[in-house]
Homo-oligomer: A and B are copies of this chain.
Amino acid sequence: MNLVSELGKILPKGRVSAGEDELKRHGGGFFTYHAPHLPDAVVFPRNREEVLEVLRFADERGVPVVPFGQGSSLEGHTVPVRGGISLDMNGMDEILEIRPDDFLARVQPGVTHGKLNAALAEHGLLFPVDPGWDAAIGGMAGTNASGTNAVRYGVMRDQVLGLEVALPGGTVMRTGGLAMKSSAGYGLTGLFVGSEGTLGVFTELILRLYPIPTRILAARAVFGGIEEAAGAAVAIIRSGMKIGRVELVDARTVEAVNAYKGTDYAVEPTLFLEFSGGEGGVEEDVAKAREIARSNGSLTFEFEEDEAAREKLWEARHEAGLAIQNLNPEKSPMSTDVCVPISELPGALGHARDAIASRGLDGAILGHVGDGNYHAVFPVDRDDEEDLRRAEEVNAEIVDYALARGGTSTGEHGIGSGKMRHLQREHGDSLAFMLGIKGLADPNGIMNPGKIFASAEGARELSGESY
């Protein structure tokens, strides 16, 4: 079968490409250590009907389909590890409807959060989920992404009120709706959110919106050690104040950021904080946070007074991953993504720092510590088995530490190809049920094969396998 010419028969002109550049662009994430693998064709659908045509075609022939947004997954989600079709959703990037009075928007999956927020600004509204990259909403829903705002607003699963999903059989399912809550049947919206493209293709999403806070203050608190910084974060959360963001960066991350962004932040473990709200209350919260930071050993606590300094701060934080990467441009980043109950955070960060040091790795630690989620980032040479093995070992140790304390192996990046073994350890007793659901939606296994579950058989094999 000539995939490209067959697809060309069922789709309008210009929708299919097998050009070398396009295959390459869709063959590997640009921010991941996962080895690339080329698709056999890239399809650029423009509407739901075209998505359905592709799915029917692929389902009949057993051709893998891998949804593609901005390609910014950290766990290899968009790598077509078994070839087939990379379904590039960027041609479906319309904001279909903004309902300011209902705090709702309907969007196509290719819309990025940056584009959406630009359109929302004139209504005084905000879509708060902000992974570091300007990712596509469809992909963000696929991995249940979150980011720095999650401590205040929650994750993608909290924001998606409804979905239109195209299924392999060529049918469409609509879940949820425009109501803020519903108890009508099983909660399918939250099941599809986080399914990593393994069940179907999102063709439309209904999103919850929020008012833009009228008052925002940012601050940096510098500490002598990572555990002190984490301790202050825990105490701030425990105080019950309405914090906007609590981000921790270790000294190595600050060093990377300074080199990449030309900043001169003190090279010490630091909390980046944001306080926001209506007119009242913000100053009180800031004063309380400063006091908590001090009693947890902060060396300095500085405000970013003006908007420019504040934006620079958050830009630095958002690009911290790129900055770390930039220190080792010839290597690729492997990132852990554990999330622990917040009281376990200081111990977890101390453990991660020691585990990294004991292997002599160049690892940086940063994270959304307000909800117990942090990342240890190791630049690895993916062609160097020894380098990969050491990083994988530390990664597994960090996951072990989290799982032993009721935490999760992935707070926001998803399983992808990178954490399948960890998922087995974390949710071994529900993996067969998850696979059953996969079988209902995608009986021929065409949707993003090799992600979450190595395969139906592979997953069963894994259950007998120790890490």
- Report if A294 contacts B (CB, 8 A): no
Q: Which of B145, B280, B406, B437 contacts A186 (CB 8 A)?
A: B437
- Report if A95 contacts B (CB, 8 A): no
In order of increasing CB-CB distance, the 7 nearest A-B pairs are A211-B240, A178-B406, A280-B281, A190-B190, A182-B408, A280-B280, A101-B343
**Contact B341–A184 (Cβ < 8 Å):** no
Q: Which of B177, B182, B191, B452 contacts A191 (CB 8 A)?
A: B191
Which partner residue on chain B sits nearest A156 by CB separation? B183
**Contact B183–A194 (Cβ < 8 Å):** yes
How many copies altogether? Answer: 2
Q: Give the CA-CA distance A101 to B340 in the complex, in Å.
A: 12
- Report if A277 contacts B (CB, 8 A): yes
Which partner residue on chain B sits nearest A411 by CB separation? B181
Q: Which B residues are in CB contact (< 8 Å) with A101?
A: 234, 238, 342-343
Cβ distance A240 to chain B, nearest Cβ, rounded Å:
3
- Report if A383 contacts B (CB, 8 A): no
- Report if A171 contacts B (CB, 8 A): yes
**Contact B184–A102 (Cβ < 8 Å):** no
Interface size class of A (residues with CB under 8 A): 35 or more
Given contacts A102-B343, A341-B102, contact A185 B430 (CB under 8 A): yes
Q: Which of B179, B187, B278, B407 contacts A407 (CB 8 A)?
A: B179
Q: Which B residues are in CB contact (< 8 Å) with A436?
A: 440
Q: Give the CA-CA distance A92 to B341 in the complex, in Å.
A: 25
**Contact A181–B412 (Cβ < 8 Å):** yes
Cβ distance A222 to chain B, nearest Cβ, rounded Å:
24
| 0/1 string, A274-301, CB within 8 A of B gives 1 | 0001111111110000000000000000
Cβ distance A231 to chain B, nearest Cβ, rounded Å:
11
Q: Say which one of A10-18, A246-254, A387-395, A421-429 lies at the interface with B.
A: A421-429
**Besides the known contacts A103-B342, A180-B342, A180-B373, 11 further A-B residue pairs in the complex with CB atoms under 8 A apart:** A144-B182, A145-B183, A174-B430, A177-B406, A177-B408, A181-B412, A183-B411, A187-B190, A187-B194, A190-B190, A241-B278
Given contacts A180-B372, A429-B174, contact A191 B190 (CB under 8 A): yes
Q: Which B residues are in CB contact (< 8 Å) with A279?
A: 281, 284
**Contact A184–B409 (Cβ < 8 Å):** yes
- Report if A217 contacts B (CB, 8 A): no
- Report if A434 contacts B (CB, 8 A): yes
Q: Give the CA-CA distance A437 to B435 in the complex, in Å.
A: 11
**Contact B144–A183 (Cβ < 8 Å):** yes
**Residues in chain A within 8 A of chain B (CB atoms):** 99-104, 124, 143-146, 150, 154-155, 157-158, 171-175, 177-188, 190-191, 193-195, 210-211, 234, 237-238, 240-242, 277-285, 337, 339-343, 371-373, 402, 405-415, 419, 422-423, 426-427, 429-431, 433-434, 436-437, 440-441, 452
A-B contact pairs, 12 of them (CB 8 A): A155-B181, A171-B429, A174-B429, A177-B426, A179-B411, A180-B339, A180-B372, A181-B371, A181-B408, A181-B411, A183-B415, A186-B194
Cβ distance A121 to chain B, nearest Cβ, rounded Å:
14
**Contact A431–B146 (Cβ < 8 Å):** no
Which partner residue on chain B sits nearest A165 by CB separation? B430
Q: Give the CA-CA distance A409 to B176 in the complex, in Å.
A: 11
**Contact B433–A441 (Cβ < 8 Å):** yes
Which partner residue on chain B sits nearest A162 by CB separation? B406
Most buried by B among A185, A284, A422, A429: A185
Q: Give the CA-CA distance A187 to B146 in the complex, in Å.
A: 15
Q: Which B residues are in CB contact (< 8 Å) with A102?
A: 341-343
Q: Give the CA-CA distance A28 to B186 in the complex, in Å.
A: 24
Given contacts A157-B190, A238-B101, A284-B279, contact A427 B184 (CB under 8 A): yes
**Contact B419–A184 (Cβ < 8 Å):** yes
Q: Give the CA-CA distance A157 to B174 in the complex, in Å.
A: 19
Which partner residue on chain B sits nearest A241 by CB separation? B278
Q: Which B residues are in CB contact (< 8 Å) with A414?
A: 183
Q: Which B residues are in CB contact (< 8 Å) with A402?
A: 179
Q: Which B residues are in CB contact (< 8 Å) with A234?
A: 101
Which partner residue on chain B sits nearest A430 by CB separation? B173
Q: Give the CA-CA distance A277 to B277 in the complex, in Å.
A: 11
Q: Which B residues are in CB contact (< 8 Å) with A190?
A: 157, 187, 190-191
Q: Give the CA-CA distance A103 to B372 in the complex, in Å.
A: 12
Q: Which B residues are in CB contact (< 8 Å) with A412?
A: 181, 183
Q: Which B residues are in CB contact (< 8 Å) with A180?
A: 339, 341-342, 371-373
